[in-house]
Structure 1
Amino acid sequence: MSAVEKPGRADRVLLALAGLVLLVFGGPVLAIGLGATGPSWWIHQDQHDVLLSAAQRTHWRGEGWWWPAVIAGLAVLLLIGLWWLSAVLRRRRLAEILVDTGDGEEALLRGPALEAAAGARTAALDGVERAEVRLTGRREAPRAGVRVLLEPYAAPGPALQRISDEVLAQARDSAGLERLPAEVQLRAARHRPQRVQ
């Protein structure tokens, strides 16, 4: 069983927009279908009304561009949905890492434990305000994603070098991995200026 990482900001925005559209358009339809009276501005008032009349549904059917446009629009929506699903599935966090013990046997190392240890080690480096480590990929070939918030005085170059040489190398060695590809995102913290009196 593998843990799935929390949705990112773009995922949350898309889910919120989809939910809002469903609520705004589906909520009144459901309420009216259950017998409630609809608002005066809504497109139908009675539970026996239809959203689109037969004339509205067939108005453009005779036009040569109608069906290609409908099919192209649906295909675009399908491709966007598949792209989003594959992006979410690719970002799955590893629940465990396969470790070669050196005696012909293998052991499993909990992914969240290694993430927590590497994150704490990164956060303890000089110039790092906050750090988060995520392991993705396959359990026999993990990849690390490191997000670091640097103190305003910290230089990115030396911080990246220390993360690579100390944190990632130690994580790679402790898990018995030949290699641990990593993507490190550095961001500088912004502190509000304070007035000195």
Structure 2
Amino acid sequence: MRSPVKAIARSARAERVLTSLFGLLAVAAGALAIVVGLGWLGTFRSQRSVFDPLLAEWIAANPQWTKLIGIGLGIVLLVVGLLWTVRSLRPERQPDMLLSSSAAGRLKVTSGAVTDAVSADAESLAGVSRAKARLVGSAEEPALRLYLWLADGTDIRRIWQTLDTDVLARARSALGVDHLPTAIRLELDTSKPSRVS
């Protein structure tokens, strides 16, 4: 049973890349400010104000253009921030699996049907009181997250072997894939305490 990152948790690669780019830009701006401030680019440049006087004169002479540019930059930043937030908060994709495609038609099974079947198959194992499956990734490269609640005293090694040889083997065969990366989480199912009469 292979368990890549996409089966274990949702990927945060895009957020990390964007955050790293913003961080690199901030570091570069800070390094440039230090270089200019120390006078490495000339003493005249280091003594000038941060806000260029020519730019300040242009802003004073063209207040309407300045307002329009400021409003435009604000809208662009707002849209980028909203898109980033929506992308980060959207639900994880659960792919439907295309089993066959021909001139007569296409046979597609929904993600919910796959997870219900795998959950029911896992719950049929002795010692498993509850099971919940989740199909993630893409239709071309699906991955499975399987949550199992075990009864007290269950042989975990037997459950682990049976999952691989029976439950996951049937799931791979039904989906027509050679590999179905799976992350499995095992928990002890705590029963409700009995009331003393």
TM-score by length of 2: 0.50
Q: Which has the higher helix share?
A: 2
Q: Which one has a bigger Cα radius of gyration? A: 2
Query: TM-score scaled by structure 1?
Result: 0.50
Q: Which of structures 1 and 2 has the larger relative contact order (alpha carbons within 8 angstroms, sep 6+)? A: 2
